[in-house]
Structures are given as structure tokens and as C-alpha cells.
Amino acid sequence: MSIQCLRVSFAALASAAALASAGAASAQSSDVDVAFNIGVVSDYVFRGVSQTDQDPALQGGIDATFGDSGFYAGAWASSVDFGDETDAEVDIYGGWRTEASGYALDFGVIGYVYVDEPDGADYNLIEFKAAASRAIGPATIGAAVYYSPDFFGVDEQATYGEVSAAFTPAERWTVSGAVGRQWLDVNDDYTTWNVGVSFALTENLLLDGRYFDTDVDGPLSDDRVVGAIKVLF
């Protein structure tokens, strides 16, 4: 990941955090919790499609939560390889989390910025998110919807819906999976799914192995197994 990408990431986080901080000003608590993460994956897969031409990626992020207000903001970056000059993806996000009738709710907005995208590529986009999840014993089930008025590279609307489940069979072990559907105004819609196992070596060191697939034939969307390691600070 380039130095330029890291600079963009931290500048973006500062802007996102400032916006969320303004929304949290009236909250009962003014405490701000900040967490960092950095990791490596054998292939950066987004909604079933490789973003690194099936090569490894370096990733890292920063998250801020604003006391008991439910507001949050953050930035996350990953190396990418689209076969052009694009160096990295930087995601800038913010939103609000709450609970209702035993469900955890999450409403937010995500901006995807692509560093050094080619002229006319139109990769950058914004998505609006609404998600809900519920814990049932050692399991958690959830659903989420993402909507973009101007999706990646196509200048058209797109919607992504996903259902997910996670289960903790033993201490430090988590089995999880998801099935999603990407609806695109200009390209064929497709379905993607994944299932994997995570293990916490320590409170700050996580390992994950995951199988991804889609119903689209192609070298970037065919089935694959991805390994990841993440360090939390």
C-alpha cells in the first residue's frame, strides 16, 4: 500500500470522525473509543469477486465510536489490482447503531474512493446501508441491504442484499457464512456466498479461512479459498 494511500485514509477518517462527532455532541457521554486493525489476506474478495487479481492484499483501518450515542465513523484501506493504475481502495464510513425489540440495528453510509483511478473510470461510489441482526444463544443471524445511486464503474443504480449467520461452537472459534445477491441496472445480476471458520489466537490476533463462490463463471469470480490474519489494537 502506497504512502499516498495511507495519507488519504487518515485524512478521510478525520473528516468522517468530525461529521459523526457533531452528531454525537448531544449524547449523554462524550467518550470516544478508537480502535485500529491491520491485516493480510491471500486474496481480497468483495461480494464474491477478487479485487486483487487473485493476489494477496495488505489492509488496515481505524474505527471511532462516540460514547453511548450509537454514532460511529471510520476509514479502511486495501491494496487492489484492477490491471490499471489504481493503487488502493479507501472506504470512509459513518453511521448510527441502536437496538429495538432484541435486534441490533445499523444505519450508515459508505464512500468508496479508489486512489489513482484512471481518467474516466468512474470507480468511486457511495452506498447507503441498513442492517439488522439478532443473537440467539451462541448464534447470530442477520440481514443487510446496500444501495448505490451510482455504482462502481457503471454510472447506474445497484442494490446488494445479504443474509448471514454466525455460530460460536467453542471458546475462540466462530463458524460463519453469508448469501448475497447483487442487482445491477446495466449488468447481469448475480448471487454470491461464503462460509468460513475464524479462530482468535489471542484477544488481538485473529485467523480466518473462508470459501467464496458465485454463480458467475470467470477467473475473478470462480470459487476460491481465502486465508486472512488480522491484528487488532
Q: How many domains is the chain built from?
A: 1
Q: Which residue has the cell 470516544?
A: 32
Position 15 scores a pLDDT of 46
Length of the chain: 233
User: CA–CA distance from 55 to each of 7, 197, 206 (Å)?
Assistant: 24, 21, 20
Mean pLDDT of the residues in the chain: 89
Cα–Cα dist 211/231, whole Å: 21
CB crowding 163-179: b at 16 or more within 10 Å, else e: ebbbeeeeeeebebbbe
Encode pLDDT of 173-222 as tens digits. Answer: 999 999 999 999 877 899 999 999 999 999 999 999 999 999 999 999 99
Position 46 scores a pLDDT of 98
- Whether 49 shows a pLDDT value over 70: the answer reads yes
Cα–Cα dist 197/184, whole Å: 30
CATH number at residue 222: 2.40.160.40
Encode pLDDT of 63-109 as tens digits. Answer: 999 999 999 999 999 999 999 999 999 999 999 999 999 999 999 99
Position 187 scores a pLDDT of 76
Q: What is the DSSP letter of 187?
A: S
Q: Range of 201's domain?
A: 3-232
Provide CB contacts within 8 A for 29, sequence distance 6+. 67, 68, 69
Q: Are 91 and 76 within 8 A, CB to CB?
A: yes
Provide CB contacts within 8 A for 11, sequence distance 6+. none
- Whether 28 shows a pLDDT value over 60: the answer reads no
